[in-house]
A = this chain, B = another copy of it.
Amino acid sequence: MNQVEEILKKNHLSVTGSRQKIMQLFLNSNGALAHADIEKKTGESFDRVTVYRTLQSFVEKGIIHLIPTRDNSIKYALCKDDCEAGHHHDNHVHFICDECSKTICLDDVTVPQVKLPKGFTPQHAEMVVNGICGECK
């Protein structure tokens, strides 16, 4: 049983062609993927709806997470820690390169706490940093 199958089974998902291929894509890519990226890379293999539903199932199981971006395009990313241990990932910072527009999970950088005005109760914080990544410098 390969890594992809393992991940799917562990998360109680049927092992199907689309899920295997898309999961493999995430494992191969070192950044986040947008729906469009996935559709491009899988070619004509799967229906557009299948890709949506596959991503949805991954999100529901907590295998991948969404990354909010400034231009409001949805990006999905697999966190290394997640797939290996299955535990819930902490709140890490995301980095988006303005040059190559690669989106990277900075798993080691946690979102700092901020002091909110009186009355506000925080529950979850997201932080996205834009700039130039190591490869584009």
Contact = CB atoms under 8 A, between A and B. Distances in A.
Given A68-B72, A72-B72, A73-B72, A125 B130 contact: yes
**How many monomers of this protein are in the complex?**
2
A111 interface: yes
Given A109-B114, A121-B137, A129-B122, A68 B66 contact: no
A134 interface: yes
A119 to B, nearest CB: 3
Contact of A93 (B74, B93, B106, B114): B114
A25 interface: no
A39 to B, nearest CB: 17
Contacts of A120: 95, 106, 129, 131-134
